[in-house]
Chain A
Amino acid sequence: MNLNFSFFTHDVIANFIFKGLLFSIQLSLVAMTGGALLGTLLALLRLSSKRWLSIPAKLYVNTLRSIPLVMVILWFYLLIPMLIKRSIGAELSAFITFTIFEAAYYSEIMRAGILSVAPGQVNAGYALGLTYWQCMKYVVLPQAIRNMLPVFATQTIILFQDTSLVYAIGAYDLLKGFEIAGKNYNRPVETYLIAALVYFIICFFFSSLAKSLQKKIQIIR
């Protein structure tokens, strides 16, 4: 079969692809920010010595981490309208789902980052007369963030790839944009190839960026 990419013009990008790309990026950014904040909270809860704080957080994280994302997307798309008694579109549902889902993954990254700082560091900080917050700000967090940044970046790239799974509820994301364009011009094979290339370029670019960033801020041991 002959591949023909001539249909793929500026108009196609403007009419079909751009809207989807914008949504995928928005979804990734919202889920990253919301997920990281909620995830940090969950990590702190899990590290708490009070069991009534740590056990619910552990349950939340482990449950979400053991269910396929597609099922989580479908669950929320089913449950949210049941709970609030009205339907919210696929796009809004995706924002809520991804934030809640990614929080479980980010919380594990945050927890590992905080645990990676040796307790001696905190003790040394206190011994030097730092207060709790000074100790956090100047000793613990700079090291914790350096330690978890590579994994954080990897997880965010995975998150961007995973946004393509909103296919399950029909939200208009980058993949959907390609699919509709492919249907309209009757060129599905070519559009899937271009979609793969576009995702590859974006993800490859950011993972290379993450690698060089990691080298730059690595603690020299």
Chain B
Amino acid sequence: MSSFFQWKIFLQDTGGGQTYLQWLISAWGWTLAVSFCSWAIAIIVGVFIGIIRTLPNKFLLFIGNTWTEVFRNIPLIIQIFIWYHVIPSIFLSLRQVPPFILVVIALGFFTSARISELVKAGMESLSKGQLQAGLALGLTRSQTYRYILLPLAFRIIIPPLTSESMNIIKNSSVAFAVSISELTMFALQAGEETSRNIEIFFATTFLYFVSAFAVNRLALYIENRLKLPGAIGGAR
């Protein structure tokens, strides 16, 4: 076993004044940074688009549906290429934007389409009486959304939202295609430099695993903290 797995490789110097272990950790940091920033964008945009798809306004509905269909039906890697290669060469002023930001936007918008679907489904799963009761009590539509519908819908969609959040970590691996120095890029480069692919891949896969698992536990904790007494999931 010890001749097959040479974990010492991680203590070796890369030639750039750091060990492979340090490089691995910094790559993990990039993966987490891409994932977290994309997640923030995905939540904000996704919730917004999801909400306008439930409003009784044809124009907003059309915008929301188009947004969702466009970002859902194009593969992520192509969306990343579009943000990285196409957008800066059409809008020259965006040339200075660092690749990290472009990838975060790409992954964030890609995921926002999925989150908007969740939000819409969550809102639709609430009974119509909730909205009607809110309006009948004299709340405005935005008050009804803010104080009644969204808090209920949010609790319903926590489980699928959790798996979307885990998907973001997995999908951030596609950023290797535009040379963001995250975990997959590290695996490819360090594997080539050291020829110890197995060890490098094991370590990389393990860190993806740990990250996704941590998100899962955190979400479970949030879900339990926010549970409403007497409401089993549905909270009708």
- Measured CB to CB, the residues of A under 8 A from B are 1, 3, 66-71, 74-75, 78, 157, 161-162, 164-165, 167-168, 175, 188-189, 192-193, 195-196, 199-200, 203-204, 207
Chain B residues lying within 8 Å of A67, measured Cβ to Cβ, are 170, 205, 208-209
The answer to whether A71 and B85 have CB atoms under 8 Å apart is no
Q: A70-B174, A200-B70 are in contact. Are A193 and B77 (CB under 8 A)?
A: no
Number of A-B contacts (CB under 8 A): 97
Given A78-B201, A192-B85, does the pair A68, B173 have CB atoms closer than 8 Å?
yes
* B208: contacting residue among A68, A164, A188, A193, CB under 8 A: A68
The 5 closest A-B CB pairs, nearest first, are A68-B173, A203-B73, A161-B75, A68-B170, A164-B75
At the interface with chain A, which of B41-49, B86-94, B143-151, B223-231? B86-94
> Which residues of B60-89 have CB atoms within 8 Å of chain A's CB atoms?
69-70, 72-79, 81-82, 85-86, 89
By the criterion CB–CB under 8 Å, are B89 and A196 in contact? no
B51 located at the interface, meaning its Cβ lies under 8 Å from any Cβ of chain A in the complex: no
Contact check, A164 vs B77: say whether CB atoms are below 8 A apart.
yes
- Measured as residues with beta carbon below 8 angstroms from the partner, the interface class of chain B is 35 or more
Contact of B92 among A1, A70, A195 (CB under 8 A): A1
A217, B92: Cα distance in complex, Å: 50
Binding site for A on B (CB under 8 A): 69-70, 72-79, 81-82, 85-86, 89-90, 92, 166, 169-174, 176-177, 184, 187-188, 191, 197-198, 201, 204-205, 208-209, 212-213
A75 to B188, CA, bound (A): 11
Q: For chain B, what secondary structure do more than half of its interface residues adopt (helix, strand, loop), or is it mixed?
A: helix
When the two chains form their complex, are residues B201 and A70 in contact, meaning their CB atoms are under 8 A apart? no
Nearest A residue to B201, CB-CB: A75
- Known A66-B213, A70-B174, A193-B86; contact A200-B92, beta-carbon cutoff 8 A: no
Question: How far does the alpha carbon of A1 sit from the alpha carbon of B166 in the complex, in Å?
Answer: 38
- Report Cα–Cα, A188/B70, bound state, in Å: 21
